[in-house]
Amino acid sequence: MSKQILVTGGTGYIGSHTVVELQNEGFDVVIVDDLSNSNIDVLDAIEKITGKRPAFEKFNLADREKTNVFFEQYKNIDAVIHFAAYKAVGESVQKPLEYYRNNLVSLMNLLENMKKHRVSNLVFSSSCTVYGQPDQLPVTESTPRKPAESPYGNTKAVSEDIMRDFSHANEGINCIALRYFNPIGAHPSALIGEFPVGVPNNLVPFITQTAAGLRDELKIFGADYDTPDGTAIRDYINVVDLAKAHVVSINRLLENKQQSSYEFFNVGTGNGYSVMQLVKTFIKVNGVDVKYQITDRRAGDIEKIWADTTLANEELGWEAEKTLEETLESAWAWEKKVRNIK
């Protein structure tokens, strides 16, 4: 009998790509999502890609009662992948309480029910924001965490602490936190991709929407950083590569291969690209124009960060495979499909 995986936030950007990879590997998937930053139509796209429609329940996991009822109904869950969270850095600076309440309470409700219903395995969507602005690059898993630059980043750090403490206190609960760098791109089918509700908070949807004519120009936040071209540097990872890291992590837990009850891994490419490099690469590979304007730095942004992925490569047997060029091609193919651009 195939294993059942609960994917919270499974209609979202990274969640939907992970559901596809899980179903392609033969897992049964049930999604919980409140659709606050995603669209129900994603289920149709997942079914079109994989030939299978995941089960779906709509509610917010910060609602303790609804979470309890869900776990009473779904009694065969073998593992959980937890994506569901608010994730806009800038908004979190403006609305810290909303971020703390949603992101932390949902995790605690999940863990409480995992213990009660003997669900042993959790893969958590963490972030390289826990490193703050690191003193040395690239960052390894032994790089010290720093005080977060935003409430969003802090919810990821506190969530990691909650999982570490909970798994140590409760034998049989095993957690893996994946510290993502910057996920970009779309599924090669162009049936799913990054489709933010409202104004995008991430760079690539801003680029693609500007190229598509939805936005007049792209704002580049800061060109006075201590980097070769003055713009901030990030490690951009293809979303399908990232999704596959979750499948590998789930298998590690189900096969009891973890080294301890709480593990964490950097999931990136190991390469740093500046914002300007990304924009120029997008323009070059897709042959489209993107108008941009340099503006002030944005609150909560760090100057530069990229990953050392040795631990994930060796321990998980996973590595990023797709190039920046093909990733940016996939992002534009997705945007064109969504906007009916020939």
Bridge-based pairing state of the strands 273-274 and 233-234: antiparallel
Q: 4-183+238-267, which class in CATH?
A: alpha beta
Residue the block writes with tokens 């790509």: 17
What burial class does residue 303 get, using C-beta atoms within 10 Å of its C-beta: 0-12 exposed, 13-18 middle, 19+ buried? Answer: middle
The residue ranges of the chain whose pLDDT is under 70 are none
Q: What is the pLDDT of residue 106?
A: 98
Q: What is the pLDDT of residue 79?
A: 98
Whether the model clears a pTM of 0.85, i.e. scores above it, the answer is: yes
Which tokens belong to 257? 């291969």
Residue the block writes with tokens 């936040």: 221
**Whether 225 is catalytic:** no
Q: What is the pLDDT of residue 119?
A: 98
Q: What is the pLDDT of residue 196?
A: 82
Helical segments of the chain, H only: 13-24, 42-50, 64-73, 89-94, 96-116, 151-169, 203-211, 239-254, 275-286, 310-311, 324-339
Q: Which of 13, 99, 131, 152 is catalytic?
A: 152
**Distance set, CA 120 to CA 86, 156, 206, 233, 318 (Å):** 25, 21, 39, 37, 23
Report how far residue 234's alpha carbon sits from residue 304's, in angstroms, rounded to the nearest whole number.
Answer: 6
Any bridge partners for residue 178, and if so which?
125, 265
